Structures are given as structure tokens and as C-alpha cells.
Amino acid sequence: MQLSHRITHLLGDGDDGWGVFYRARAMKAAGRDVIELTIGEHDIRTDPVILEAMHAAAMAGQTGYASIPGIPALRDAVAARVQARTGVATTRANVQIMPGGQAALFAALHATGDQGDSALYVEPAYVTYPGVFRALGLTPCPVAAQPEDGFQPRATDLDAAARAAHRPRSLLINSPNNPTGGVYSQATLEGIARVVLDHDMWLISDEVYDTQVWEGAHLSPRALPGMAERTLVIGSMSKSHAMTGSRIGWVVGPEAAVARLADLATHTTYGVPGFVQEAALFALAQGDGLEAQVAAPFLRRRALALDLLGRQNIVRAQPPQGAMYLMLDIRATGMTGEDFAMALLEQHGIAVMPGESFGAAAAGHLRVAMTVADDVFVSALARLLDFAAERAA
């Protein structure tokens, strides 16, 4: 039997950049030691106090169908958090609870474009973005952000892409950014807002790394003039509270859009388990201190990495302003990111993501996740830099 075009073409012509990751997992399964610096998975687990709250909620009976838009108390807590951090009036009517940021992204794009519409996004971009566009029948329109601009997208490039696209309906951005570590400046976001307003598009703002800002400040574009009514914000507990496996996130947006997202959830996920929602509510109630504790290892490893990088001149890197990654420029080696990453894995057992995984704008780069213990991270990065020096020579 023939499968649908939507599912068979989800990855386009390749593996959406996961080839090195899959090879690393296969090597580990075969018994080889591999240091994985690939995915954004914390090396600490979810705090036991959150798990205790989850267990208590389950034992108290929160194991049946939960409210599909999300339990009211959690929606209120998310709304209060967003309002406090952005200054934009937000109530539970603006919040749809989703099973993780990925499901939230899928829902937001589902709500803002129809089959054949164009969806703009900034490259380098998280690897699942193009697949979501394809799954929904949207035409992906990447707009390259340049390394020399600190990977901040230019409004002129976004405007040109919108003018060239067929029925542009949305623009997807991500700040703090995965994979580059860039935090969009106010000027960048104001340029983005002008383009969105000029072309009457939706803005989808992926802000799952908003608690990991090392330089500058995070600004949600929803707070800019005229943007609250046309912005859908993606949030998640995965990165802020090390709750990746709990699959709990949200979409914040205009009331009418959120009401339709609840309809979509009724016909897809049918909500999020009540005991997971109760755990998320408990976690948010712990305040900024717990979030800072989860973020601290990445800030510490960022300093360690910048010290190592400053001792050599082959691999270049812009200091990440946020998130849990390094974006390394290895073009001086004469190798592509894919070739370098695969050779590093096979010869040294160190797995990193090739920049090409995140789009053509990241060719000749590597993304390194700072997600292992400090000593292991420093050792692996030093070996990577030595390997690059050998190749450059």
C-alpha cells in the first residue's frame, strides 16, 4: 500500500541532518565510547522535588482526561509568568497548554497557514522546522542570517523573501537561537515586526530558551507595538526546568487563535496528562531560583569554552549570547561541517551536529551542545580543536 506524500516527504531529500546523531547512537549500541554533544538534553535530570509533585498528583487521581486547553491553574501561572516578563496583558484565555514545544510549534503553524501558503523562517534553524512545514503542506522559505551579522536576520532580506514568496502567511523566528546562541537585539526585532506588519503576516516566536540568556536581554516581539494580535509565542518547560521528557509546553497568543488551538488539540493530542500539568504548575511556583540553577552549568561551560577557543586561531566562534550551544566556524580546515563531524566521530568518538543540519546558512560550521560534565566537555572540546588544527595544517 502506498503511504501519503505528506509522510514520505517529511524529511525532504535527506535525513534532516540527523545522520551523525544516528551514527553516534549506533556506535554506542555496539559498545563504543562516544561523547555526545549533539542534542539539547541536560546532563542533570528533572529536579526530584518536581518528580515528587508529579507522583503526588498521579497518586491523588490526576490520571484521567485533563482539561484540553490546560488546567486553569497552570494556564493562569503561565499567563502571569509571561505578563511579568513582557509587560503584555495576558490571561488564561491567551494560553493553550501543549505536549511540549514541538507540538506547540506544529499547532501554531497549522493555525496560521493553509496548503500551498508560504512560511518564512530564519536560517540557521532548528532541524525540525522544515519537516513541520512539509507536513502541513506549507512552502518553506528560508532566509539566511549571516555569520558576519552575528546571525541576526536583516529586515531587508526578510522583506525581499516575503515579496518573492507565494502567499506568505507567517514568519518563524527563534531567540535565544538554536543553533547559533544568538539573542536578537531590539533593533533586529523591530525590523522583523515592520516586515510582518507590512506583509500582514503572523509571527511565530519560538522562545523556549528564554531563561538562558548570557549577554543582553531577551525581548519577546509580542511586546512590540501592534504585535500582540499577530504573534504566537512558543514556550516550554523542557529547557527552563530540565523537563524534556515530561512533554509540557504552551502557545501564547490572541484569544481567538488560542480558542481554535483548543479545537485542534481536541482532534490531535486530546490534552496533556493532569499529573504532568500539576508538576509543571509546581515547578513554575519555585520561581527564578530553580530556573537559574538549571541554566548555571551552560553559563559555566560557556566560559570554559571561550577560554579554550581563545588559545587557538583555527576554529572561530562568536560568544553565544544565550542557549546551551556553541556555533563553531571550522571553514579554515577546508572541510564541510558534515565531513568534519563524521570524521571526528569515527576517529575520536566525539559526536557534534554539522552546521549543514541547520540549513545552508550554517555550512562549514558545527553546533556543539554543552551538555556533559565540565571535565568531559573541556576534554572533548580540546580534542575537537586539536583535530581542527591537524586538518588545517
Quick: pLDDT tens for 237-269. 999 999 999 999 999 999 999 999 999 999 999
Residue 9's pLDDT band, with cuts at 50, 70 and 90, is: confident
Mean pLDDT within 100-114: 98
Whether the CB-CB separation of 272 and 66 falls below 8 Å is answered with yes
Mean pLDDT, residues 112-120 taken together: 97
**pLDDT at residue number 10:** 83
Residue 16 has pLDDT above 90, yes or no: no
Write down the domain spans for the chain: 5-45+289-392, 48-286
Instruction: Of 76, 69, 62, 77, give the one whose Cα is nearest residue 97.
Output: 69
CATH level 3 topology of 48-286: Aspartate Aminotransferase; domain 2 (3.40.640)
Q: What pLDDT does residue 18 have?
A: 79
Query: Sheet of 249-252: strands edge to edge?
Result: 95-98, 249-252, 231-236, 202-206, 168-174, 118-123, 139-144
- The hierarchical CATH code for the domain 5-45+289-392 is 3.90.1150.10
pLDDT surpasses 80 at 15: no
How many Cα neighbours within 13 Å face the side chain of 27?
19
The DSSP-derived string for 347-366 is HH-EEEEEGGGG-GGGTTEE
**Cα distance between residue 368 and residue 21, in whole Å:** 12
Return the amino acid letter for 153: P
In this prediction, residue 360 carries a pLDDT of 92
Torsion of CA 78, 79, 80, 85, to 10 degrees: 90
Q: What pLDDT is recorded for position 344?
A: 98
Residue 306 has pLDDT above 70, yes or no: yes
- The pLDDT of 196-205, averaged and rounded, is 98
Q: What percent of the chain has pLDDT over 90?
A: 95
Q: How far apart are the first and last CA of the chain?
A: 53
- In one letter, which amino acid is 268? T
Tell me the residue length of the chain.
393
CB 297 within 8 A of CB 124: no
Over residues 223-239, the pLDDT tens digits come to 999 999 999 999 999 99
Q: Report the phi/psi class of residue 167: left, alpha or beta, with left for phi > 0 and alpha for psi in -120 to 50.
A: left
- Say how many C-beta atoms besides its own lie within 10 A of residue 144's C-beta: 18
Where do we find the cell 486553569?
72
Q: Taking 90 as the threshold, does the pLDDT of residue 6 lie above it?
A: no
Residue 393 has pLDDT above 90, yes or no: no
Residue range 362-383: mean pLDDT, rounded: 97
Residue 169 · residue 117 · CB < 8 Å: yes
What are 122's strand-pairing partners? Answer: 143
Model confidence at 172: pLDDT above 80: yes
In the chain, the amino acid numbered 164 is A
Name the average pLDDT for the chain: 96
State residue 14's pLDDT score.
61
